[in-house]
């Protein structure tokens, strides 16, 4: 039995289909289904049962001998969230309980961290589990802080030489884009957000830069297509001797302006771009530059080529037509 928290969400639902392709159907989803979209995401998925997060630990206790692995992808992922107490309960304390269960029952665990934990990037994008390094990072928003705290929690367990799960993987996801993210509304990837607007010949609004080191539209991010993320997840899952924190990105950057131009080109629409002032609630924790250092992932043996942004966008547009 495989448990997937956040299994009705973006990465989670895509992971279920990827596991189904590998003949794995004994899957338990832990998630809230509060939208028609989430139900739509799972309509062709093969899984055993769906349980609410409030029922998870009782289910784990009763079925501990049957559980082979946990993919912990569920979280409050709203980067503008201001209720830190709620974020701590859902993103940190909930994760700590899953970790303790995996340690006690010796069950493998892959969990979602985030590139947002790197803050403004001045300390680099090194996917290290070193307590010394992690303490240098300064996340810019409450969501990122809640994810960072769990990375620190694990690092402290390692430093104290405590018992760990037989395999544990923390994945720092960079800007993931793909199918099944429309339920996130304004929190979805900029790519999925802009595609329907451009199709309708609408004007695209990009944030102005409020950093003297970046021109308008030249803010840079590392955008990774969902299928590449899934491939990284499942490759690590199939390498039980490998544990650690790893970046899930491409190792390359693209500007928002270039990204938008690629979308217009592939959707065969005339460019309509306007720069607007960044809202105050976003400006103060805005990341101007992210770039995954994937040397650690390559070093442990993951050698598959990761899609360039233009190829990923072409693939996504084609998939949405089918």
Q: In 10 A of CB 19, how many CB atoms?
A: 23
CATH node for 2-176+224-252+290-307:
3.40.50.720
Average pLDDT for residues 266-295, to the nearest whole number? 94
Per residue in 242-255, pLDDT tens?
Answer: 999 999 999 999 99
The candidate with the shortest Cα–Cα distance to 249, out of 126, 76, 69, 108, is 126
DSSP 93: I
The predicted structure's pLDDT at residue 267: 96
DSSP 92: I
Per residue in 284-307, pLDDT tens?
Answer: 889 999 999 999 999 999 999 999
CB 174 within 8 A of CB 220: no
DSSP 304: P
Contacts of 107 (CB under 8 A, 6+ apart): 67, 68, 69, 70, 101, 165, 166
* Residue 229, Cβ density class (10 Å: 0-12 exposed, 13-18 middle, ≥19 buried): buried
For the chain, give every residue range classified as CATH 3.90.25.
182-221+253-289+310-321
Per residue in 6-32, pLDDT tens?
Answer: 999 999 999 999 999 999 999 999 999
Average pLDDT for residues 182-206, to the nearest whole number? 94
Tell me the whole-structure pTM to 2 decimals.
0.96
For the chain, give every residue range classified as CATH 3.40.50.720.
2-176+224-252+290-307
The candidate with the shortest Cα–Cα distance to 144, out of 155, 132, 154, 152, is 152
By annotation, the residues acting in catalysis are 143, 184
Domain 182-221+253-289+310-321 has CATH 1.10.3470: no
The predicted structure's pLDDT at residue 322: 65
Helical H runs in 63-93? 84-87
Contacts of 145 (CB under 8 A, 6+ apart): 84, 87, 139
């Amino acid at each position: 039995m495989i448990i997937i928290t956040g299994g009705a969400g973006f990465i989670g639902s895509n992971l279920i289909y990827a596991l189904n392709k590998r003949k794995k159907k004994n899957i338990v989803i832990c998630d809230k289904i509060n939208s028609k979209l989430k139900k739509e995401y799972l309509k062709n998925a093969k899984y055993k049962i769906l349980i609410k997060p409030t029922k998870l630990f009782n289910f784990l206790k009763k079925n501990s001998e049957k559980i082979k692995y946990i993919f912990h992808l569920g979280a409050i992922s709203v980067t503008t969230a201001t209720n830190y107490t709620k974020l701590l309960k859902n993103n940190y304390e909930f994760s700590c309980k899953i970790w303790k269960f995996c340690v006690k029952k010796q069950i493998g665990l892959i969990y979602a961290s985030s590139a947002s934990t790197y803050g403004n990037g001045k300390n680099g994008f090194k996917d290290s589990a070193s307590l010394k390094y992690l303490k240098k990072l300064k996340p810019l928003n409450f969501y990122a802080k809640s994810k960072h705290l769990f990375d620190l929690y694990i690092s402290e367990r390692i430093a104290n030489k405590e018992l760990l799960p037989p395999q544990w993987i923390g994945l720092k996801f960079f800007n993931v884009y793909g199918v099944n993210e429309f339920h996130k509304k304004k929190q979805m990837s900029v790519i999925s957000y802009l595609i329907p607007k451009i199709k309708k010949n609408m004007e695209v609004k990009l944030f102005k830069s409020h950093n003297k080191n970046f021109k308008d539209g030249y803010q840079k991010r590392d955008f990774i297509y969902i299928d590449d993320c899934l491939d990284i997840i499942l490759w690590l899952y199939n390498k039980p001797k490998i544990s650690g924190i790893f970046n899930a990105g491409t190792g390359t950057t693209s500007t928002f302006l270039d990204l938008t131009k690629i979308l217009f080109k592939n959707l065969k629409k005339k460019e309509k771009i306007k720069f607007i002032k960044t809202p105050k609630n976003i400006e103060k924790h805005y990341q101007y530059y992210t770039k995954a250092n994937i040397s650690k992932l390559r070093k442990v043996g993951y050698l598959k080529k990761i899609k360039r942004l233009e190829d990923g966008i072409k693939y996504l547009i084609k998939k949405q037509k089918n």
